A and B are shown apart, each in its own frame.
Chain A
Amino acid sequence: MARAITTRKKVMWTALSWGIGLLIFFPILWTFLTSFKTEATAIADPPVWFAFDWTLENYRAVQERSNYPLALTNSIIIAVGSTILGIAIAVPAAWAMAFVPGRRTKDVLLWMLSTKMLPAVGVLYPLVLLAKWLGVMDSRILLIVVLMLINLPIIVWMLYTYFREIPGEILEAARMDGASLRNEIIYVLTPMAIPGIASTILLNIILAWNEAFWTILLTTVDAAPLTKFIASFSAPEGLFYAKLSAASMMAIAPILVMGWFSQKQLVRGLTFGAVK
């Protein structure tokens, strides 16, 4: 009897998980299907599911009208660049906070997080004027620095949490063996925190990839990433749903694939230290 209930429960939980999973995945599936429809089938009512003439026309039109390779390259450089720069700054910062905390470390951590609560538009004008003065508007380096600064609090917080799980005695032992501070961080701390660092990197690449406020406002042509590429296919007057879907699929495909392949690391990293 007990066994039957367990099986039924299992089936229920599995069905529920699948249901929630499909619900979350549905918008992506629908975008995928719409991207292969004609504009007329895309807006058909009742909606057409699979029985339509699949066409690659939208992908061709999108390709023709915009510079996808440039947008993709920009997205990759900006997302990866800002994450690497962020990690390079955050590892020493998180080390200091985790292993040699001062009286105000907690306050500093909280203060850092509070900058995330600032509405982005509040610093728009100072930042644009500064970028203009430095002559770096519409450049990748500007976006790398800006996105790094925006995500830095999250990177430091995540790394701080992981580092706190590592016993300080191991680092002390390394120091007794004569390791310098630099060697201690690079050869002892970092390898032990690899799962945490990996998930921080992945999460930050995703955040930087999807960032649409700064990437749209600070670029025009040369540094415009995929967010600007998608924005160019949205229209309030005129029906371009199928083309918009094709553009969306092209923009999310790389990050979607990366997400699938790194699922394990992401989940492990995000739940790191959750069970004591």
Chain B
Amino acid sequence: MKLERAFFAATAIVSVAATAAMAQSDATTLTIATVNNGDMITMQGLMDDFNEKHPDINVEWVTLEENVLRQNVTTDISTGGGQYDILTIGTYEVPIWGANGWLVPLDDLPAEYEVDDIIPAIRDGLSVDDTLYAVPFYGESSFTMYRKDLMEEAGLEMPDAPTWEFIRDAAAKMTDRENDVNGICLRGKAGWGENMALLTAMSNSFGARWFDEDWNAQFDSEAWSNTLNFYLDMMEESGPAGAANNGFNENLTLFQQGKCGIWIDATSAGQFVVNDDSTVAEHVGFAQAPDTGLGKRGNWLWAWSLAIPTSSENVEAAKTFLTWATGPDYGELVANEKGWVAVPPGTRSSLYENENYTGAAPFADMTMASMNTADPNNPTVDPVPYTGVQFVAIPEFQGIGTQVGQQFAAALAGQQSAEDALAAAQELTNEEMEAAGY
């Protein structure tokens, strides 16, 4: 008898679960898919202000790790799932998705939004044929962070715009492996957004490019050979042990603990190397990303941005949210709660004219200078058929970029030579591109 009851109970539980999941409310509810970073968490903490101004709009957050988010959102958008009203996506996705007709054009934002205040390079990166498809929440380029005290000990002074040769030389002089000080820390972990972000941006300054104008891979060029050999040699001379496993987080930790002389990475790291977690906060200096005199610097351009998928049924409410979260007043709202240094950087020119901000953020000027020198439409010395500074804005790039990244990481780990890594990269890129119909 007991068992019979158990079977009935089971069926009951399943059907209760079915109905319990269906409850819904009447007010407009926006579901926002977002990434887990400091600026997004800050925004979630400021929702009282939005709720006060717009009591008729509820906001629900779905926070996910970057790659999981990408997978989730791509599935939703390509099936017209309509699960999300606002998506947090980067400068890589916007040109592709905008061209696919997956995003709502944002060409009718109100005048008080001051769309012209958005940093031009970022606005270009988020537009397709001059139509804006996403608005930036925070933007970043990359720059050189260095230890002023170690530079002084080495008898050197960092110029505002250094060359790669200078960086290599300075790194070698600062290296003191007995005391666990590495002259330079750079990304080595394989991934299109990890080591390939750095290496692609770096290759631009060496005059290399991913593809020629007919979409032929260019890893057999002298410029790519110079890039990779320079990177590997410099890391061998002055890099930390096990660098092939280091991404943003690992290098941030090393730098904060005083184990790096120079770290070239995202401008958004600026606030972390001078905060309380950093043991070297008072010694940190900032300079632009290095170059080789060819007219391009090795700095990238990225912006986490908010966009509305065409499958959303709440487009107007979503636009209201976008204009609040990325509008001209948002910075001040953050500053009142958490101080000026915590204002999301890299989106509006006016922020860099604000003395409160430039006074609180020692990295502000260098961030702005770096953002202004990155050009997603002309990323490198020679012409290219793609947009994107540290990536190629085609759907195939995520896969190819990560595979090439694995080859380069293997070279950094000493498992193969630079030449072998480049040959493998050349072959796999051409194969994938051919399969994709280019």
Question: Which residue numbers of A lie inside 8 Å of B, CB to CB?
Answer: 39-40, 43-45, 65-66, 77-78, 80-81, 84-85, 87-88, 124-125, 128-129, 132, 137-141, 144, 186-187, 190-191, 216-217, 220-224, 228, 231-240
Contacts and interface: CB of A to CB of B under 8 A. Distances in A.
A140 B17 contact: yes
29 contacts: A65-B41, A78-B17, A81-B13, A85-B14, A125-B75, A125-B79, A128-B79, A132-B80, A132-B81, A138-B21, A141-B14, A141-B18, A186-B3, A190-B3, A220-B84, A222-B21, A224-B62, A231-B64, A231-B65, A232-B62, A232-B64, A235-B65, A236-B67, A236-B193, A236-B247, A237-B266, A238-B37, A239-B272, A240-B36
Contacts of A88: 7, 10-11
A232 B36 contact: yes
B231 to A, nearest CB: 21
A248 to B, nearest CB: 13
A140 B20 contact: yes
B13 A84 contact: yes
A140 B18 CA distance: 6
Contacts of B226: none
A189 to B, nearest CB: 10
Given A141-B18, A187-B3, A236 B63 contact: no
A85 B7 CA distance: 9
Contacts, number: 128
Given A231-B64, A236-B193, A221 B36 contact: no
Contact of B83 (A186, A187, A220): A220
Most chain A beta-carbon neighbours within 10 Å: one of B3, B14, B23, B80: B14
Interface stretch (B249-257, B320-328, B346-354): B249-257
B299 interface: no
Top 5 A-B pairs ranked by shortest CB distance? A141-B18, A232-B63, A84-B10, A234-B65, A139-B21
Given A45-B253, A88-B11, 9 more contacts: A40-B277, A84-B14, A125-B75, A132-B81, A140-B17, A216-B64, A220-B31, A220-B60, A232-B64
Contacts of A144: 14, 17-18
Contacts of B14: 81, 84-85, 141, 144
A148 B64 CA distance: 25
A54 B65 CA distance: 27
| B interface, size bucket | 35 or more
Interface in B47-92: 60, 62-68, 71-72, 75, 78-84
Contacts of A44: 257
B35 interface: yes
Interface in B242-274: 247-249, 252-253, 256-257, 259, 266, 268, 272
B241 to A, nearest CB: 12
Contacts of A43: 253, 256
A64 to B, nearest CB: 9
B64 A81 contact: no
Most chain A beta-carbon neighbours within 10 Å: one of B21, B62, B64, B82: B21
A191 B79 CA distance: 47
The binding surface of chain A is classed by DSSP as: helix
Contacts of B10: 84-85, 87-88
B108 interface: no
A253 B309 CA distance: 37
Contacts of B82: 132
Contacts of A65: 41, 44, 63
Contacts of B63: 65-66, 232-233
Nearest to B80: A132
A224 to B, nearest CB: 7
Contacts of A66: 63
A234 B79 contact: no
B436 interface: no
A137 to B, nearest CB: 6
B18 A139 contact: yes
B193 A191 contact: no
A217 to B, nearest CB: 6
B110 interface: no
B21 A238 contact: no
Contacts of A141: 14, 17-18, 21
Contacts of B80: 132
A144 B80 CA distance: 23
A236 B65 contact: yes
Interface in B316-344: none
Contact of B75 (A217, A234, A239): A217
A138 B33 CA distance: 14
A93 to B, nearest CB: 15
Nearest to B248: A237
B21 A191 contact: no
B38 interface: yes
A138 B78 CA distance: 17
Contacts of B75: 124-125, 128, 217
Given A39-B277, A220-B62, A231-B65, A80 B21 contact: no
B33 to A, nearest CB: 8
B22 interface: yes
Nearest to B269: A237
